[in-house]
Amino acid sequence: MKSYLAAAVQMNSLPDLQKNLAQAEDLIDLAVRQGAELIGLPENFSFLGDEESKMTQAEAIAQSSEKFLRTMAQRYQVTLLGGGFPVPTEDGKVYNTALLIGPNGEELARYQKVHLFDVDLPDGNTYRESITVLAGVQLPPVYPSKELGNVGLSVCYDVRFPELYRHLSQMGAEVLFVPAAFTAYTGKDHWQILLQARAIENTCYIIAPAQTGKHNHLRQSHGHAVIVDPWGLVLADAGDKPGVAIASIEPTRIEQVRRQMPSLQHRVFI
């Protein structure tokens, strides 16, 4: 593993596939011009807003999203995560799918989100992801990269389930992706502290791309795409506007933290 720059992209995606992909390309270009070699796009990067429209266009969104990720990774010669897009299933629902693509356009890892956001929030908003999304049944993968380190995948609501990240760290993860479309209501209280906790518990870097702002008349995201180091320090924060959070991923920092706080070696209950 080498030292390199990573980028967590922050978007304001809408119910408009082509506009979203154009926005994503601009932000990937911005990240690359700043030197990023590992780039993450947020959950729902290619479409966010109206569920009925999403389901009607699901096949086109899936095909366009995957083609876009392969094209961008090849064009810019980077490793690129699409943090979540709908892939149709045989039963009429979709998998919320995160896809990691290498610089040659090849698929490195794929993960179907297992924890679905079915929640009634105190602000009056209700979310029922399971109405349209089929939960994945496989634990997320860790992609081993000699240059970028061992990269573990997850998506948004997963961040509230620490056992998933402990699995990833047991599998050797050093860098954890948490692409999200975190609600504005929960994000203000929970987003950063959950990410810091997952980083500290597993002595891993966290790269957390995010959605921000209003997506339709009902849905609003918290923003604050961040990169967190293994000690829990926030290295970069994209604020509340579309943009990128960029920071250096340092193998010596992982080694230092794991030497100073060897908690992964001290686990009693497995």
Residues annotated as catalytic (active site), given as ranges: 43, 113, 156
Tokens at 150, concatenated:
């061992």
Do 92 and 101 touch, CB atoms closer than 8 A? no
178 is written with which tokens? 């948490």
Could you give the CA distance from residue 39 to residue 36 in angstroms, rounded to a whole number? 7
